[in-house]
Amino acid sequence: MERGAKEKNQHLYKPYSNGIIAKEPVSLEQEIQEMRRGGAEPEFDMSDIFYFCRRGVESIVDDEVTKRFTAEELESWNLLTRSNYNFHHISTRLTALWGVGVLIRYGILLPLRVTLAFTGVGLLVVLTSVVGLFPNGRIKNYLSDKVHLMCYRICVRALTAIITYHDSENKPKNGGICVANHTSPIDVIILASDGCYAMVGQVHGGLMGVIQRAMVKACPHIWFERSEVKDRHLVAKRLSDHVADESKLPILIFPEGTCINNTSVMMFKKGSFEIGCKVYPVAIKYDPRFGDAFWNSSKFGMVNYLLHMMSSWAIVCSVWYLPPMSRMEGEDAVQFANRVKAAIARKGGLADLLWDGGLKRGKVKEVFKEEQQKLYSKVLVGSSEDRSRS
């Protein structure tokens, strides 16, 4: 199964069509030119409203943003109930097959994986604490790397994640920041099992807190208190301090800020791009046929999610290391962020959207409406100016 999955990874992932309507990518200008084909010059016509009206109703039926926050639908079923909305009884044979699948997944695969997971996490905590006892120096760094890598690889096996790494010559180096698109918390494990990174995150309590404290003993990670997160300057300072120190590991950051369902890349927050060091982009693309890795945090809690992951067939994904990028002269942080985002989207075969992942929970900014108004007025008023001149 592993070999078969690895071979399939060579092809580019087919973009799955989730839509229920066919949207024509016709721009505003084209529509208006078409409507005026009678030869008259463009000026306001009562029918101009049709364009906006139709676009509005199209978005009521099917919009680009909401469907990024629910798991992808598959065209053909992979025997996991959760990946098919319209699940209804088709035939006895298929249900029997599904039943056998359930037995295998929950009876055999799940217990094996849970045991591995506990082993992996347990080892991580114990060994990093042991390494922490060593004095700072080359031996400590070497041991810490080995320990981290080993434990993450056990965790990877615990999820039966089959990962294909491409272009490893571009792997992130010390003194840089690694940015990647975010689909699930597993992204961290996937990347960290191939290289050593400094993690960034909030300080948690409970089991996560124990893991965080243990990890920090072996090598420096950046954990923020909840109150510190709001202070952007403090965050930026700590990040740049870490990056300036060449002996420290590259920082791993997910600029989207939230989990997206792996069909697109949403707006990158500019914070990490303001620091002014080398950025190593990484694209992660999951193959949804074996198990959907997307974490819908509004629907499922963390434990539920991990259970889903461990009872899927496998997690198959591809990781592409892209060549490092730096901010160019005259480019501001937002433009730089968009450039990196486009590169990641292109490599991973994902749609490049300008929407903010924060829209999962928040409101649209007025500036987007103004863009539409600007476009329309350019077509109308711009052309009537031509007329008055001639």
Partner 1 sequence: MGSTSSTLLKIPNAEVLMQETGFSPAHIIRLHDRFKALDKEGRGYLCPQDFGAIKELAMNPIGDRIIGAFFSPGKETVDFSTFVKILAHFRPVDKDRPKEPNSPEPINSRSNKLKFAFQLYDQDKDGKISRDELLKVLRAMLGMQVTEEQLESIADRTIQEADLDRDEAISFEEFRKSLEKVNIDHKMSIRFLR
Residues lying near partner 1 in the complex (CB under 8 A):
19-22, 35, 38, 43-66, 70, 85-86, 88-91, 355, 359, 363-364, 368-374, 376-378, 380-381
Residue listed under structure tokens 């476009």: 375
Please say which residue, 304 or 377, places its beta carbon nearer to partner 1.
377
Instruction: Copy the structure tokens of residue 352.
Output: 């490049």
User: Which residues, 6+ apart, have CB-to-CB distance to 17 below 8 Å?
Assistant: none
Please say which residue, 53 or 100, places its beta carbon nearer to partner 1.
53
Please say which residue, 88 or 230, places its beta carbon nearer to partner 1.
88
Q: CA 138 to CA 129: how far, in whole Å? A: 17
Whether the Cβ atoms of residue 223 and residue 202 lie closer than 8 Å to each other:
yes
Please say which residue, 33 or 247, places its beta carbon nearer to partner 1.
33
What is the four-CA torsion angle of 123, 179, 325, 263, rounded to 10 degrees?
130
Q: Is 320 strand, coil or helix? A: strand
Please say which residue, 11 or 363, places its beta carbon nearer to partner 1.
363
Please say which residue, 34 or 228, places its beta carbon nearer to partner 1.
34
> CB 377 → partner 1: shortest distance, Å?
4
Nearest to 261 by CA among 90, 121, 65: 65
Q: CA 81 to CA 48: how far, in whole Å? A: 45
Q: CA 124 to CA 281: how far, in whole Å? A: 27
User: Which residues, 6+ apart, have CB-to-CB distance to 58 below 8 Å?
Assistant: 21, 23
Strand partners, 389: none
> CB 218 → partner 1: shortest distance, Å?
43
Please say which residue, 69 or 336, places its beta carbon nearer to partner 1.
69
Instruction: Report the Cα–Cα distance between both ends of the chain, in Å, rounded.
Output: 72
Q: CA 297 to CA 259: how far, in whole Å? A: 8
Q: What are phi and psi of 77, to 5 degrees?
A: -75, 140
DSSP 241-278: HHHH-TTSPPEEE-TT-S---SSEEEEPPGGGGSS-SE
Q: CA 121 to CA 123: how far, in whole Å? A: 5
Please say which residue, 27 or 59, places its beta carbon nearer to partner 1.
59
Please say which residue, 227 or 373, places its beta carbon nearer to partner 1.
373
Please say which residue, 34 or 332, places its beta carbon nearer to partner 1.
34
Q: For residue 208, which amino acid is it?
A: M
Please say which residue, 45 or 231, places its beta carbon nearer to partner 1.
45
> CB 197 → partner 1: shortest distance, Å?
33
DSSP 83-107: G-TT-----HHHHHHHHHHHIIIII
Alpha-carbon Rg for the chain, nearest whole angstrom, is 25
Q: Give the count of alpha carbons within 13 A of 281, CB side only.
A: 24
